[in-house]
Chains A and B, each alone.
Chain A
Amino acid sequence: MVATARKNRGPVVDCDIHNAVWPGALDPYLAKRWRRHGQLFGSRTHPGSLYPKGSPAAARHDAWPPSGRPPGGDLEFMRKQHLDPEGIEYGILNCLGPAGTQLNAEYSSALCRAVNEWQIAEWLEKEPRLRAGVAVPYEDAELAVKEIDRFADHPGFVQVLLIVRTAEPLGRRKYWKIYEAAERNNLPVGIHFGGGARGVPITASGWPSYYIEDHTDMAQAFQAHVVSLVCEGVFERFPGLRVVLIEGGFAWLPSLMWRLDKHWKRLKEEVPHLKRRPSDYIREHMWVTTQPIEEPHNPRHLLQVLDHLGGSDRVMFSTDYPHWDYDDPDRAFRVRLPEEDRRRIFAGNAKALYGLR
């Protein structure tokens, strides 16, 4: 439809595509006991918030496949609408959904295993451009490690996928085994927007009223994890760990690095396990994806942000297809990027991080 402006840009690595589990999709991969559990009790996650999204299934209206499956649930349609016309060389699948955040940890574990096997059979083996994140029951690190170790050898899995609204800040010890396994298997850990809260309000003052607040405030959940991962010394303990912040935006990161460095200078006796400035860990160990890209009134301010970040080498383009706040590869940046930055952001950084070719 709008595949008119492809111009001369090179290939794109899209670091955030959502493949959706359609009804019944996981049944072949679930033991009878868990299929029965699902029929009887369904998905049980932490009750919390109801913020109706900007659109049904938080999806682009034009992304509902004719097959009747949910947006992102039909590979052929995804090819036709997204991968082919946008010239996606590689796409990283981040399968959302309630698998990782079930209150029943064993059910969570079974669902994650099913999701991962389903991803292999229905996506990775059918479409060579796609890669995926390993779904894990992230609130129980020991069970999560089993999933990581089970799937890490499959070449289609290129990261471990966590969802940002966790029960505790991700630097805390309860999550360390996940990082140990990720590091051991040479997989980055991706942290993605969303996750339904786990009982913790999105603001330090409880629940806001509106979806526009929930969506805007989500960046702060990412900020809290950055602070936690650094301050807990996770990168001292796991020096090979790489963390990707997915769908959190990134214009806020320079300010956070400055703030952390400033107060660390005064308070560093509290965190003697940190050997370097907080920003040094962030620059070395953290990557960000671009969507939903901040849109300054003066588009040139985005170039300042890249400069304040210390360069473009940790910034990776993403669309968030098929969600409503999708960013188009040709239109997301409203400022002309220097050619080298453009190549890095749209492909080079992701290829290097995920070992794509």
Chain B
Amino acid sequence: MPKYVVATVDEIPPGQRKIITVERRSIGLFNVNGDFYAIRNQCPHEGGPLCEGVLSGLVRSEMPGEYEYVRRGEIVRCPWHQWEFDVRTGQSWFDPAKTRVRAYETTVETTTSLATSDADLVDAGYTKGPYEAETYRVEVDQQYIVLHL
């Protein structure tokens, strides 16, 4: 499973996102309260750029007139037809079993663990990502988001 260093943690503050392209796939990276999630930037419905949509919460209800507003900042809505997807899992709200987008595992790794030799990285299963320049920066406290494709 190839891994890509795709962003620094500082780049995506909580509530923000970044669209990246990895192996010709457009993928959205989301920071939800300090945790990072990645899903494919293509809606399974008509192919809209899902991760460019509004990031909102989920309105649930047990009974007409009652609104339960939960998971604010964790639900992305396709910019086209407004289908709602959980950025943590890629599952759609209305049909979680069948309608979903691919979700990718992410990890946060420190400068120390990454700023070693290429050989170590290759051994560990990493492939060079688009953020080479920054990986050479020597910042002891820098953290990187690693995408597991």
Chain B contact residues, CB within 8 Å of chain A: 26, 41-42, 45-49, 52-54, 79-82
Chain A contact residues, CB within 8 Å of chain B: 1-2, 4-5, 54-55, 60-63, 324-328, 330-332
- Tell me the complex Cα distance, A62–B52, Å: 7
Measured between beta carbons, the chain B residues less than 8 angstroms from A330 are: 47
Name the contact of A60 in the complex, choosing from B42, B45, B48 (C-beta under 8 A): B48
Most chain-B CB neighbours within 10 Å: which of A1, A63, A326? A1
B45 and A324 form a contact (CB under 8 A) = no
Name the contact of B47 in the complex, choosing from A54, A324, A328 (C-beta under 8 A): A328
Measured between beta carbons, the chain B residues less than 8 angstroms from A331 are: 45-47
B26 and A324 form a contact (CB under 8 A) = no
A to B contact number (C-beta, < 8 Å): 47
B26 and A1 form a contact (CB under 8 A) = yes
Instruction: For residue B86, give the distance in angstroms from its CB to the closest CB of chain A.
Output: 18
A61 and B79 form a contact (CB under 8 A) = yes
Measured between beta carbons, the chain B residues less than 8 angstroms from A4 are: 47
* Known pairs A1-B26, A2-B42; A55 contacts B82 (CB<8 A): yes
| A2 (CB) vs chain B CBs: closest residue | B47
| A331 (CB) vs chain B CBs: closest residue | B46
Instruction: For residue B102, give the distance in angstroms from its CB to the closest CB of chain A.
Output: 15
Sample of 8 more A-B contacts, CB < 8 Å, known A55-B54, A61-B52, A330-B47: A2-B42, A61-B79, A62-B79, A324-B79, A324-B82, A325-B81, A331-B45, A331-B47
Measured between beta carbons, the chain A residues less than 8 angstroms from B41 are: 1
- Tell me the complex Cα distance, A311–B109, Å: 60
Interface residue SS majority, chain B = loop
Instruction: For residue B7, give the distance in angstroms from its CB to the closest CB of chain A.
Output: 19
Name the contact of A327 in the complex, choosing from B26, B46, B49, B82 (C-beta under 8 A): B46
| A328 (CB) vs chain B CBs: closest residue | B46
Measured between beta carbons, the chain A residues less than 8 angstroms from B26 are: 1
Name the contact of B79 in the complex, choosing from A5, A60, A327, A332 (C-beta under 8 A): A60
B47 and A61 form a contact (CB under 8 A) = no
Q: What are some 27 contacts across the A-B interface (CB < 8 A)?
A: A1-B41, A1-B49, A1-B52, A2-B42, A2-B48, A2-B49, A55-B79, A60-B48, A61-B52, A61-B54, A61-B79, A62-B48, A62-B52, A62-B79, A63-B79, A324-B81, A324-B82, A325-B80, A325-B81, A326-B46, A326-B48, A326-B81, A328-B47, A328-B48, A328-B80, A331-B45, A331-B46
- Tell me the complex Cα distance, A125–B116, Å: 60
Measured between beta carbons, the chain A residues less than 8 angstroms from B48 are: 2, 60, 62, 326, 328
| B50 (CB) vs chain A CBs: closest residue | A2
Instruction: For residue B98, give the distance in angstroms from its CB to the closest CB of chain A.
Output: 11
B80 and A60 form a contact (CB under 8 A) = yes
Most chain-A CB neighbours within 10 Å: which of B42, B48, B54, B80? B80
- Tell me the complex Cα distance, A62–B54, Å: 10
- Tell me the complex Cα distance, A55–B49, Å: 15
- Tell me the complex Cα distance, A83–B118, Å: 45
Measured between beta carbons, the chain B residues less than 8 angstroms from A2 are: 42, 47-49
* Known pairs A1-B26, A61-B52, A62-B52; A332 contacts B81 (CB<8 A): no
Measured between beta carbons, the chain B residues less than 8 angstroms from A326 are: 46, 48, 80-81
Instruction: For residue A298, give the distance in angstroms from its CB to the closest CB of chain B.
Output: 14
- Tell me the complex Cα distance, A62–B51, Å: 10
A54 and B82 form a contact (CB under 8 A) = yes
- Tell me the complex Cα distance, A2–B49, Å: 7
A324 and B80 form a contact (CB under 8 A) = yes
- Tell me the complex Cα distance, A324–B82, Å: 8
| B44 (CB) vs chain A CBs: closest residue | A331
Measured between beta carbons, the chain A residues less than 8 angstroms from B80 are: 60, 62, 324-326, 328
- Tell me the complex Cα distance, A60–B53, Å: 9
Measured between beta carbons, the chain A residues less than 8 angstroms from B49 are: 1-2, 62
Instruction: For residue A78, give the distance in angstroms from its CB to the closest CB of chain B.
Output: 16
B53 and A61 form a contact (CB under 8 A) = yes
Instruction: For residue B84, give the distance in angstroms from its CB to the closest CB of chain A.
Output: 12
| B79 (CB) vs chain A CBs: closest residue | A61
Instruction: For residue B50, give the distance in angstroms from its CB to the closest CB of chain A.
Output: 10
- Tell me the complex Cα distance, A149–B4, Å: 63
| B41 (CB) vs chain A CBs: closest residue | A1
Measured between beta carbons, the chain B residues less than 8 angstroms from A328 are: 46-48, 80
- Tell me the complex Cα distance, A332–B47, Å: 10
| A327 (CB) vs chain B CBs: closest residue | B46
Measured between beta carbons, the chain A residues less than 8 angstroms from B54 are: 55, 61
